[in-house]
Amino acid sequence: MTAKEYKEIVDKALAEQFLSEEDYPIRGLAEAMRYSLLAGGKRVRPMLVLEFCRVSGGEPKAALPVACAIEMLHTYSLIHDDLPCMDNDELRRGMPTNHVVYGECTATLAGDALQAEAFGTILRSELPAERRVRCAMHLANAVGLDGMCGGQYLDMLAEGKQLDAKGLDEINSRKTGALLTAACLMGVAAAGGSSAQEEAAARYGAALGAAFQIRDDMLDVLSTEAELGKPIGSDREEQKNTYMALYGEERCAQLVERLTAAAKKVLEGQFAECAFLDALADSMAVRRN
């Protein structure tokens, strides 16, 4: 499948989540969840789930609940990142952020519920039990104490301090890289792939995640608000630790190129068809939003 076809399948499946009747008692919470879940996005993480399932010998459609689950988890993280107590952002993907529309309390609960529903969606899927458990385990590892939440905590502690490359990597490998790596691992797990395939998928995800974050830092300086769908220059204004501040544009561009090549290299010999994953890595390296 093409990236467009994958995105269409995922968007359709996500649109069917949390539908409610007019008299549904907690309809407002479901609406808040759907507002952010359906607010657009590239759907990179679901694509990685589906394609790694395919190249590991599985049926992508069987992994669709897993793909939806990781997008629910990702959406929860965005809602909470935007809250006044965190980044206090008012624009996400060109739209008002969840708490601006629904209020801080409802937005917090929408994120909480999406996190829980992500695991429920995996565990209620029709995949064999051992594959469901493995997918849920990979997701839990990516978002818990030593994953995304831990990375966010380290990022908070680093405010007002100047980090070196090691400190910055410690944050971003958890905050950004862990969930991208989990998407790759969950695709292999959904297919019942081998441990060698999981290892290659993890290395691809880690390299892709590192390149993704560096490119993200570049875009906060080089992109426009119209392209990015949110205010630009906020990292510099808030004196955040970024790769652009640490290395500058030229060095960042070199690192993205090197990491992208490394991501593609680790797939060789483990998966029969890597064209889609190679092209995805290349597109992420030059993205404008």
The region that residue 88 occupies, defined by phi over 0 for left and psi between -120 and 50 for alpha, beta otherwise, is left
Rounded Cα distance, 106 and 12, in Å = 25
- Tell me the pLDDT band of 46, cut-offs 50, 70 and 90: very high
Q: Which tokens go with 130? A: 């051992």
Residue 42 CA: distances (Å) to CA of 11, 61, 212, 228:
10, 19, 13, 12
Q: Which tokens go with 25? A: 């008692």
pLDDT at 64 over 70: yes
pLDDT at residue 159, as a whole number: 86
Rounded Cα distance, 214 and 180, in Å = 14
pLDDT at 187 over 90: yes
pLDDT at 20 over 90: no
pLDDT at residue 237, as a whole number: 60
pLDDT at residue 49, as a whole number: 98
DSSP H helices in the chain: 3-15, 27-37, 44-55, 64-82, 98-102, 104-123, 129-143, 148-157, 165-172, 178-191, 195-222, 225-228, 234-237, 243-247, 249-265, 275-285
| Mean of pLDDT values over 111-134 | 98
| Mean of pLDDT values over 137-144 | 97
pLDDT at residue 137, as a whole number: 98
**Lowest mean pLDDT: which of 26-30, 174-178, 181-185, 235-239?**
235-239
pLDDT at residue 227, as a whole number: 64
pLDDT at residue 208, as a whole number: 97
pLDDT at residue 11, as a whole number: 97
pLDDT at residue 72, as a whole number: 98
pLDDT at residue 19, as a whole number: 83
pLDDT at 246 over 70: yes
Fold of 3-285: Farnesyl Diphosphate Synthase (1.10.600)
Q: pLDDT tens digits for 204-237?
A: 999 999 999 999 999 988 876 666 666 665 666 6
Rounded Cα distance, 213 and 119, in Å = 25
Residue 92 bridge partners (DSSP): 95
pLDDT at 267 over 90: yes
Rounded Cα distance, 138 and 277, in Å = 20
pLDDT at 182 over 70: yes
pLDDT at 33 over 70: yes
pLDDT at residue 288, as a whole number: 86
Inter-residue contact 53 to 60 (CB < 8 Å): yes
Mean pLDDT, rounded, of the chain: 93
Rounded to two decimals, what is the model's pTM? Answer: 0.94
Q: Which tokens go with 253? A: 């561009």
Nearest to 268 by CA among 180, 203, 191: 203
pLDDT at 243 over 90: yes
CB neighbour class for 23 (10 Å; exposed up to 12, middle 13-18, buried from 19)? exposed
